[in-house]
Structure formats: C-alpha cells, structure tokens
Amino acid sequence: MEGRAAVCRAPVAVLNAVTAVSAHDVWAVGFDTGDQPVLLHYDDAHRQQLPKPSIDGLYGELNAVTAEGSGDVWGVGRVVTSETDRGHALVLHWNGSGWR
C-alpha cells in the first residue's frame, strides 16, 4: 500500500495483525472504537472494511489473521459476553461473501 492510506469506515480502528496472500491481496484485523471486530482488505484496486460479523456478545476483537485467498480468510480473537466476563475464544471465517 505504498504511498496510500488505508480506508476504514470506523472512526478509529486498532489493527492487531496483518497477513498478505500477495502484494496485491492484504488483510488486517483488529477492533474499532465500539470494541467490535474489524477486518480490512486491500486488493490493489479497492481498500474496504468487510461487514461486521455477528459475535454473540457485547464486545469482540480479532488478534490474528490468515488467508489463502479472498474466499478463505480466518480471524481469531476473543468475545466478551458481559461486563464482568474475561472473554472467550472467537474464531471467524470469511468465505468471500459472509462470515461463518
């Protein structure tokens, strides 16, 4: 992304991890100011924030990412289900069109 700033629709995002399938297929994950997971994708033509996944909790974050291509991206992190919860494992898969 030489010389170009990444676009993020969230006011602020903390990025915890980045992976690249190639120089033209880059993924980054983290969380936004609402403590919700963020996954960004750069494919040389577009920079986009993917839709937020449903996480069954109050807050969530992604801390690591791996990708085999645009239709096979895995993010892992944690989800918090209450204000006193310390968190539980969160594993998300992007299949090219939605989260599973």
Q: Is 68 inside a domain boundary? A: yes
Given this model, what pLDDT does residue 9 score?
A: 53
> What would the pLDDT profile of 19-28 be if each residue is shown by its tens digit?
999 989 999 9
Asked whether residue 33 carries a pLDDT value surpassing 80, the answer given is yes
Q: Is 37 inside a domain boundary? A: yes
Q: Is 21 inside a domain boundary? A: yes
Contact 74, 45 (CB under 8 A): no
Q: Is 30 inside a domain boundary? A: yes
Mean pLDDT of the 55-79 span:
94
Distance, CA of 12 to CA of 8 (rounded, Å)? 8
Counted residue by residue, the chain has a size of 100
Q: Residue 26: which of 43, 11, 12, 14 has the closest Cα?
A: 43
Distance, CA of 82 to CA of 64 (rounded, Å)? 23
Domain count along the chain: 1
Q: Is 35 inside a domain boundary? A: yes
Which structural domain, as residue segments, surrounds residue 69? Answer: 13-94
- SS3 at position 33: coil
Asked whether residue 3 carries a pLDDT value surpassing 60, the answer given is no
